[in-house]
Structure 1
Amino acid sequence: MGLYRRGKIYWASLTHNGEQIRFSTKCRDKKEAEAVYAKILLELKIGKVAVIQPEKKEKITFNQFFVEQYLPFCKKQSSYNTKRYSLNMIPEWFKSTPLMDFNTRHIDLFVSELATTRKPATVNKLLHIVKHAFRKALDWELIDEATFKKIDKVKPLKGETKRLRYLNQEEIQRLLSHCDNYLYPIVFTALNTGMRRGEILNLKWENIDLKNGLILLEKTKNGERREIPMNESLKTLFRQLYTQRRLDTDYVFINPKTGTRLTEFKRSFATALKKAGIRDFTFHDLRHTFASQLVMAGIDLRTVQELLGHKTITMTLRYAHLSEAHKREAVRTLENKLYHNFITISLQAK
């Protein structure tokens, strides 16, 4: 009981005459909402308010909920733009359906329709976003548990290829050597931290703690705060950038032409890849490279999970096979360098 938010508006919940009642304070500011809530409680106590009418269950559509309540809630997440763009791929009939009317058939049709023109990975990503939206609708009591269970029971499509592309040491050096002056620090940061593209471009100098060697991320994909340690090479890079920084912006990485926050470098990155002779590679694969190199260096998966900011170990397990493969390769190297001649000589002597 108390105050809670639905989108940008604060709602209140209280018990009156043995019945739980929820109503809108019609306030966006928390202090104003608290004042309204306190006034209602006082009036109830002295008997001034005879009865409070409970909220009427409005038949809001998926589109109304997604735009007016869900997206504002996601605004601080790094995945906000992805979720906002995803609305363009959702069919109109789906967006116009009232939240309380959804059932398993609606989600099945949604998945089937998308699967005719989209890859399984894209369909599953959209399904995940839709399910998360309905989860928040349940939390905010816009739908009931039974409705959510009907939606949640729909499984992701099979046949999704889990792509894992990473660079070896020689490829890393080639790529860095072909990055131009403003791209090099961005790529170097990704390779040494595993940070996502959005996290890097949103970096401000207040997030860089050179004294303690930490990058402090307030805005991450899963909405949780993350601290990333910097190695000496990265600290040296940021010290150089700090001495050359512009005083008219707080952002670390800026557009050299406009002096504003850098938002795109796709063409420069593609050029660097081409010059380095690297194919089938995306900027996000630098994150895979960071994790893969750590695992192959013997770092445990739990530590890699924390560095990447994965909420669960499940996502990190995709790198587990690299650890085993690297161990086998290490044993083979040892055999070739130290014991091959010894075994051969021993067998001949017998």
Structure 2
Amino acid sequence: MRLFKRTNGVWYVEVKRNVVRSLQTRDDREARQRFVALQREAVKGKLVVLDRTPTMSLQEFVKAYLEWCQSNRAGRTCERAELALRKLTEVVGKNKLIADIKKKNMDDYVAYCTSIKNKPTTINIEIRHIKAAFSWAVEREYLKTNPFAGYKQLKYQNTIPRFLSENQIQDVYTAIGDNKTYRLIFALYIHTGARRNEIQNIKWSDIKPDGIIFEKTKTYRSRKIPTSKGLKAILSEYDRGIGQIFNITPSHISHVMKDYFKKAGIGHFKLHDLRHTFASLLVQAGIDLRTIQVLLGHTSYSTTLIYAHLSQNQLQDAIDHISY
């Protein structure tokens, strides 16, 4: 009998070869106490090791996982996980036992997503969420192995992130006009590169003289963004209040900003393109990608590499320097 800790921080006991039991704790002291108790049971011959076949249905599993997500993952992450798992349930069937789910079911899922015109980037995001959910099932001993472990994401041609030019930024300000709430929302987007939920959750107390602190982030890591001169000028127009700045749902922000984009003549743009705008304009200003990674709150440098591009005007300028 062997006590060990996995990379997820949870303690386990290898009862016999290839038979592992979770102690359901990350606390070292508590794990050792439970291990001693199991050793005593083993000595007394009372330790029964069952080769249990999971009988949880996909519907039950989705419910349990989403309840866990509510307390352990960011709001947007929970929403994406729920969407992916609901679609998987439509494809596989809610009563199917998770023990009977095979890698082929992911092929069926991808085929379904493709049939309803989901983009490869969307499908890949959902594949990652489903794989994470089934890894969680293994950790909780609902499954012995993850049927989707090693499932490869779709290959596709990367496109340059879409971003607004400085003239288009002014066009959006003009479209917003006297709406002070959305003038500030738009300014926060293009001056901080924050995500939608981060801006929706910002409080007046998060705005400091030397920067803005985003506490509720996707990665659960707070970050501080220095305040630009332009944003300071806009913030000076507002009286500071108490508590949350915007009492607006994220979906409402997207809906209203979409109307302003149309009014500005850029109706094909999406709210997330403002985050791309922040990063892309920094790249054009010569800011290095490592700095941009920190400002955007990316945990992986590879994510920031999508901004390693130049605008079409800069590409033309580079070509024009060729003298032969």
Q: TM-score range by the shorter chain?
A: 0.7 to 0.9
1:252 matched to 2:223: no
Distance 1:274 1:86, change over 3 A: same
CA 1:57 to 1:229, structure 2 compared with 1: closer, same or farther past 3 Å?
A: farther
Aligned residue number for residue 64 of structure 1: 60
Pairing 1:134-153 to 2, within 5 Å after superposition = 134-144=134-144, 147-148=145-146, 151-153=148-150
Query: 2: distance between equivalents of 1:106 and 1:127?
Result: 12
Shift of 1:275: 2.7
SS at match of 2:104: helix
Q: Distance in 2 between matches of 1:54 and 1:223?
A: 38
RMSD of Structure 2 on Structure 1 (CA): 4.0
The corresponding residue for 1:124 is 124
Rounded Cα–Cα distance in structure 2 between residues aligned with 1:224 and 1:94: 37
Evaluate the alpha carbon distance shift between residue 237 and residue 137 of structure 1 in structure 2; reply closer, same or farther with a 3 A threshold: farther
Name structure 1 gaps, 5 residues minimum.
256-260, 341-350
Quote the residue 1:197 is aligned against: 196
Per the alignment, residue 315 of structure 1 pairs with: 303
- For structure 2, the residue ranges without an aligned partner over 5 or more in a row are none
Q: Which residue of 2 aligns with 1:111?
A: 110
The alpha-carbon deviation at position 172 of structure 1 amounts to: 0.5
Q: CA deviation at 1:133?
A: 1.7
Partner of 1:230: 227
Q: CA deviation at 1:171?
A: 0.7
**Match for residue 87 of structure 1?**
85
Q: Secondary structure at 2:172's aligned position in 1?
A: helix
Q: Report the residue type matching 1:111 in the other structure.
A: V
When residues 212 and 89 of structure 1 are mapped into structure 2, their CA distance, relative to the original with a 3 A threshold, is same
Q: Conserved in 2, the CA contact under 8 Å of 1:2 and 1:14?
A: yes
CA offsets 1:142-191 (integer angstroms, 9 cap, x no match): 434xx43x523433334566462211111111111221221111111010
Q: Is the 8 A contact 2:54 2:99 kept in 1?
A: no
CA separation in 2, counterparts of 1:139 and 1:320?
37
Tell me if the contact between 1:291 and 1:319 (Cα under 8 Å) persists in the aligned partners. Answer: yes
Checking the alignment, whether the CA contact within 8 Å between 2:204 and 2:240 is kept in structure 1 is no
Q: Tell whether the 8 Å contact from 1:254 to 1:262 is kept in structure 2 after alignment.
A: no
* Aligned counterpart, 2:163: 166
Q: Classify the secondary structure of the residue corresponding to 1:188.
A: helix
1:219 corresponds to which letter in structure 2? Answer: T
Q: What is the rounded CA distance, in whole Å, between the counterparts of 1:40 and 1:164 in structure 2?
A: 52
**Structure 1 residue 321, shift from structure 2 partner:** 2.3
How many residue pairs end up in the alignment? 314
Change in Cα spacing, 1:321 to 1:69, as seen in structure 2 (3 Å) is same
In the alignment, which residue of structure 1 is the partner of 2:174?
177
Q: 2:183, 2:44 → 1: CA distance?
A: 66
SS in 2 for 1:79: helix
Give the CA deviation at 1:115.
1.9
After superposition, the Cα gap between the structure-2 partners of 1:115 and 1:166, relative to the gap in structure 1 and judged at 3 Å, is same
What residue is the counterpart of 1:345 in the other structure? none
After TM superposition, list the pairs within 5 Å mapping 1:292-307 onto structure 2: 292-307=280-295
Q: Does 1:270 align with 2:258?
A: yes
The CA distance in 2 between the partners of 1:19 and 1:114, in whole Å, is: 37
| Residue 233 to residue 161, structure 1, CA distance change in 2 (3 Å) | same
> How far apart, in 2, do the equivalents of 1:204 and 1:68 lie?
32
Change (3 A) 1:130 1:94: farther
What amino acid maps onto 2:80 in structure 1?
T
Give the residue type in structure 2 aligned to 1:143: L
**Distance in 1, Cα, partners of 2:171 & 2:151:** 45
Q: Which has the higher Rg, Structure 1 or Structure 2?
A: 1
